[in-house]
Amino acid sequence: MRQKIVEDLDGKIPRFCLSIPRYLVGIDDQVQRISSWLQDGPPDVGILSIWGIGGIGKTTIAKRVFNLNLRSFDAGSFLCDIAQTFKGSQGLLRLQKQLVSEILVGRRRKIRSVDEGIWTIRKAMSSKRVLLVLDDVEENDQVDAILGMQNWFCPGSKIIITTRNQQFIKAHRPDNIRMVEVDTLLQTPSLKLFCWHAFGEEDPPENFTDLANRVVARCGGLPLALRIFGSFVILPKCRCVGKHIGDIGHYP
């Protein structure tokens, strides 16, 4: 019966891919670990938190996991920038509307109030294994709302949260929340990521090895910083490449 439902839904739900950075370095282990949890974890509704400082790659990891595993679920939703979307008196209602529009693809449902949204979501979730990602969760009321939805989901559904603040996750933490910490990149993967963005290959040109290492050291293993600084550099064949790398090397 479940297989028939999945086959029917395949024709209705667009199995889209979220946009992710072109070059992915140093995230394979986390992606594999989270994917294994999604595929082989307990059959109940599970929650996993990906946490780490800003710019460290939490959203990229979550998007990669979502893209790789969406087809194993009956429906899915990736809700971006929860910290901003959730703000204000209409924040929860906006979140509910987006969630319903992505879960009930092809069906128009007007939600006029939070209570109506709760009823609609509970009805939609009760018969579908859903993969839900909530990106950039930062406030206690956001966590409370997420945990409050847990009992609405069909068994086998999974919720992934990305956050910079592990403390309030721990404070609310039920037994089935799994924590995954994203750490800064080591020197070698940092250099590779920078070079891919700067030169289009994983190693720096011979004349730029020293400067590239200095820039990488300044980035402190943060993927976002490595991508941004790498994008300042023009292809090696361009005469001004030295100037661009030199400017980055002197970045305070």
Q: With helix as H, strand as E and coil as C, how does the chain read? A: CHHHHHHHHHCCCCCCCCCCCCCCCCCHHHHHHHHHHHHHCCCCCEEEEEECCCCCCHHHHHHHHHHHHHHHCCEEEEECCHHHHCCCCCHHHHHHHHHHHHHCCCCCCCCCCHHHHHHHHHHHHCCCCEEEEECCCCCHHHHHHHHHHHHHCCCCCEEEEEECCHHHHHHHCCCCEEEEECCCCCHHHHHHHHHHHHHCCCCCCHHHHHHHHHHHHHHCCCHHHHHHHHHCCCCCCCCCHHHHHHHHHCCC
Q: What's the rounded Cα separation, in Å, for the pair 163 and 13?
A: 28
Return the CATH number of the domain spanning residue range 2-181: 3.40.50.300
Average pLDDT, the chain: 81
The band of 6, judged by pLDDT with boundaries at 50, 70 and 90, is very low
Q: For residues 151 and 174, which has the higher predicted lDDT (pLDDT)?
A: 151
Structure confidence at residue 118 (pLDDT)? 81
Strand 46-51, strand 75-79: pairing: unpaired
pLDDT at 37 over 90: yes
The band of 158, judged by pLDDT with boundaries at 50, 70 and 90, is very high
Q: Tokens for 191?
A: 């250099």
Q: For residues 216 and 145, which has the higher predicted lDDT (pLDDT)?
A: 216
Q: Tokens for 43?
A: 């059959």
Residues of the chain with CATH 3.40.50.300: 2-181
pLDDT digit string, tens, across residues 45-85:
888 999 999 999 999 999 999 999 999 999 899 998 887 87
pLDDT at 11 over 50: no
Q: What's the rounded Cα separation, in Å, for the pair 210 and 215?
A: 9
Structure confidence at residue 65 (pLDDT)? 97
Structure confidence at residue 69 (pLDDT)? 96
Instruction: Tell me the percentage of the chain whose pLDDT exceeds 70.
Output: 77
Around Cβ 168, how many Cβ atoms within 10 Å? Answer: 16
Residue 172, amino acid:
H
The pLDDT of 107-122, averaged and rounded, is: 78
pLDDT digit string, tens, across residues 175-195:
667 889 999 999 999 999 999
Structure confidence at residue 8 (pLDDT)? 44
Q: What's the rounded Cα separation, in Å, for the pair 63 and 77?
A: 11
Q: What's the rounded Cα separation, in Å, for the pair 108 and 74?
A: 18
